[in-house]
Amino acid sequence: MDARALGQHVLVLDAGYQPVNIVSARRAMVLLVSGRAVAVEESGLVIRSAQAEWRLPRIIRLFIAIAHRVYRVVRVQLNRRNLYARDRFICQYCGSAVGPFTIDHVVPKSRRTPEYPRGGPTHWENCVTCCTACNHRKGNRLPAEAGMRLLTTPREPRWLPPLLFRRFLGDAMHQSWEAYLYQR
């Protein structure tokens, strides 16, 4: 086996199959051999020692006792790209997947309420992906006042959006990771 194989990237999932980190194959093997993780998908490469042989993993899953102690919870930065990725590039009012999209503040920035005396904040819980038609229709109103309902309740994602994985890895991201990167 080529020594470079231990430098390949391995996707790490927590016990709930949510992406947590990307580690080298060497680190993944340490987690597997020490019993702190289990292989979810293996590559075709084999690592051999004098006493045993192991298949090199592509994806590993941590056990719950390890998941929150070893790896910190990923805090995703709020920006246009990550917000669209969280909402899967779908308008959260009408369900349209056709852009162009905008960022809509559920409680408008210009709207003063007792809860938000300075207007609606730019937080994960107050921002959604919105098509321009719905954004114009809603205007400076709350969704209920405009006769609109959100498809999902906006909340801060606790995963690393696929776009960040692609930006980090480029073309080196393995196709088998896709199924895990688009989970909520």
Q: Which of 14-23, 94-103, 155-164 has the lowest mean pLDDT?
A: 155-164
How far the first Cα of the chain sits from its last, in Å, is 36
- One domain for residues 96 and 131: yes
Same domain? 61 vs 45: yes
Of residues 13 and 122, the one with the higher pLDDT is 122
Strands (E), 2-140: 9-13, 19-24, 37-48, 53-62, 101-105, 127-131
Shared domain for 10 and 68, answered yes or no, is yes
**Is the residue at 122 inside a domain?**
yes
Q: Do residue 128 and residue 165 come from a single domain?
A: no
Asked whether residue 40 falls in the same domain as residue 86, the answer is: no
How far is Cα 26 from Cα 4, in angstroms, rounded to an integer? 10
57 shares its domain with 89: no
Same-domain pairing of 39 and 56? yes
Let me know whether 70 and 97 are in one domain. Answer: no
Residues contacting 51, CB < 8 A, separation 6+: none
Residue 67 lies in a domain: yes
Domain boundaries, position 47? 3-74+159-181
Amino acid residing at 181:
L
The band of 108, judged by pLDDT with boundaries at 50, 70 and 90, is very high
Q: Which two tokens stand for residue 65?
A: 């006792």
User: Between 158 and 94, where is the model more confident?
Assistant: 94
Q: How many helices (H) and strands (E) does the chain have?
A: 6, 6
Residue 129 lies in a domain: yes
Residue 90 placed within a domain:
yes
Claim to verify: residue 63 and residue 11 sit in the same structural domain: yes
Query: Distance of alpha carbon 38 from its chain centroid, rounded?
Result: 21
85 and 125 fall within a common domain: yes
Q: Please report whether residue 62 resides in a domain.
A: yes
Question: Please, which pLDDT band fits residue 104 given cuts at 50, 70 and 90?
Answer: very high
Q: Are residues 90 and 131 in the same domain?
A: yes
* Within-domain flag for 66: yes
Angle 129-164-20 (CA atoms, 0-180°, nearest 5)? Answer: 105
User: Is 60 found in the same domain as 112?
Assistant: no
Q: How many domains does the chain have?
A: 2
Lowest mean per-residue pLDDT among 52-56, 80-84, 93-97, 161-165: 161-165
Q: Which helix (H) or strand (E) holds 30?
A: helix 25-33
The mean pLDDT value of the chain amounts to 82
Rg of the chain over Cα atoms, rounded to whole angstroms, equals 21
- Alpha carbon distance 128, 104 (integer Å): 5
Rounded to whole angstroms, the Cα distance separating 142 from 144 reads 6
Q: Classify residue 132: in a domain, yes or no.
A: yes
Number of C-alpha atoms within 13 angstroms, CB side, residue 157? 25
